């Protein structure tokens, strides 16, 4: 068993992965923790697979994946099957959020005796640089999640989260969303199962790399979020034994 597993879902991330992995390795050296990095190739159509293969230089880096793009949620669940860490971190392949913030996540996990620690763009010490339209959509969606699903956090969507292993062992068997509302469902179920969730401020800088969100993707996110609402309050799916 390792101290921490870092799962990176990757879909067409050949340009970002080399620098991201180097950044993670450099930061983890300072922590003195026994770590592993699991890259999940989520059906990439670029040369992500070849890049990943070249990056496996030691037993700390493992590359897994499949041919068809299945979405972030599916990729993270797939990567978890290969984890050996007592703590598990979800980290995006791009560098919008510096990996050095992992230290504040691990501190909060220990000092707050939390089961889950998530990043938030909306805490007083956070920094969020993004186009205005993206900021408005982000705010609106997080408000919707709090109103519909009663999740008591300020931000569900930051792609940097840390969990105690036992939380994911319990919660993942209940998660159905593979793509658009995965984070909202994951935090909803974790809260329902009685796990404590802490938030820490993060610095998010899209620096012109932010991907556009089209109307169809917004509708799909709303659809998946309403499906989580339906499962929670109408059919009580999450109350059932897995």
CATH assignment at residue 235 = 3.90.550.10
List of residues 6+ apart from 33 with CB closer than 8 A:
3, 4
Q: Is 69 exposed, middle or buried (0-12, 13-18, 19+ CB in 10 A)?
A: middle
Are 187 and 156 a contacting pair, CB within 8 Å? Answer: yes
> Which has the closest alpha carbon to 10: 129, 26, 53?
53
Report the alpha-carbon distance of residue 218 to residue 66 in Å, rounded. 26
Residue closest to 55 by CA, chosen among 44, 65, 63: 63
Q: Closest by alpha carbon to 116, among 82, 95, 142, 90?
A: 90
| Count of the separate structural domains present in the chain | 1
The residue behind tokens 């990056």 is: 55
DSSP state, 230? I
What is the average pLDDT score of the chain?
91
pLDDT-derived band of residue 210, with 50, 70 and 90 as boundaries?
low
Residue 127 phi/psi, 5° resolution? -130, 130
- Between the alpha carbon of residue 197 and those of residues 37, 40, 145, 186, the distances in Å are 23, 25, 15, 12
Nearest to 2 by CA among 58, 85, 81, 60: 85
Two tokens, residue 45:
């159509």
pLDDT at residue number 164: 98
Q: Is the pLDDT of residue 211 over 70?
A: no
pLDDT digits (tens, 9 = 90+) for 8-61: 999 999 999 999 999 999 999 999 999 999 999 999 999 888 887 777 777 889
pLDDT tens across 64-101, in order?
A: 999 999 999 999 999 999 999 999 999 999 878 999 99
**Which residues span the domain enclosing 32?**
2-239
Rounded CA-CA distance 126/132 in Å is 16
The radius of gyration of the chain's CA atoms, rounded to the nearest angstrom, is: 17
Percent with pLDDT over 90 in the chain = 75
Q: Do the bridges between strand 160-164 and strand 2-10 make them parallel or antiparallel, or are there none, so unpaired? A: unpaired
């Amino acid at each position: 068993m390792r101290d921490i597993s870092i799962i990176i879902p990757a879909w067409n991330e050949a340009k970002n992965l080399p620098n991201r992995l180097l950044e993670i390795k450099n930061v983890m050296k300072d922590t003195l923790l026994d770590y592993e990095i699991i890259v999940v190739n989520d059906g990439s159509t670029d040369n992500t697979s070849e890049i990943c293969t070249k990056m496996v230089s030691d037993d700390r880096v493992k590359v897994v994946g499949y041919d068809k793009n299945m979405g972030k949620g599916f990729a993270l669940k797939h990567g978890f099957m290969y984890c050996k860490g007592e703590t598990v971190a979800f980290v995006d392949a791009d560098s919008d959020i510096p990996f050095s913030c992992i230290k504040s996540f691990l501190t909060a996990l220990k000092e707050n005796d939390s089961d889950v620690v998530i990043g938030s763009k909306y805490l007083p010490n956070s920094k969020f640089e993004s186009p205005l339209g993206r900021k408005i959509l982000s705010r609106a969606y997080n408000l919707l999640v709090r109103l519909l699903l009663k999740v008591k956090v300020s931000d569900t969507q930051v792609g940097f989260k840390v969990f105690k292993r036992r939380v994911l062992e319990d919660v993942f068997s209940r998660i159905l969303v593979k793509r658009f509302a995965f984070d909202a469902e994951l935090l909803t179920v974790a809260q329902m199962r009685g796990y404590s969730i802490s938030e820490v401020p993060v610095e998010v800088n899209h620096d012109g790399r932010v991907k556009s969100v089209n109307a169809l993707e917004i509708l799909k996110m709303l659809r998946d979020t309403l499906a989580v609402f339906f499962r929670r309050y109408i059919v009580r799916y999450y109350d059932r034994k897995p």
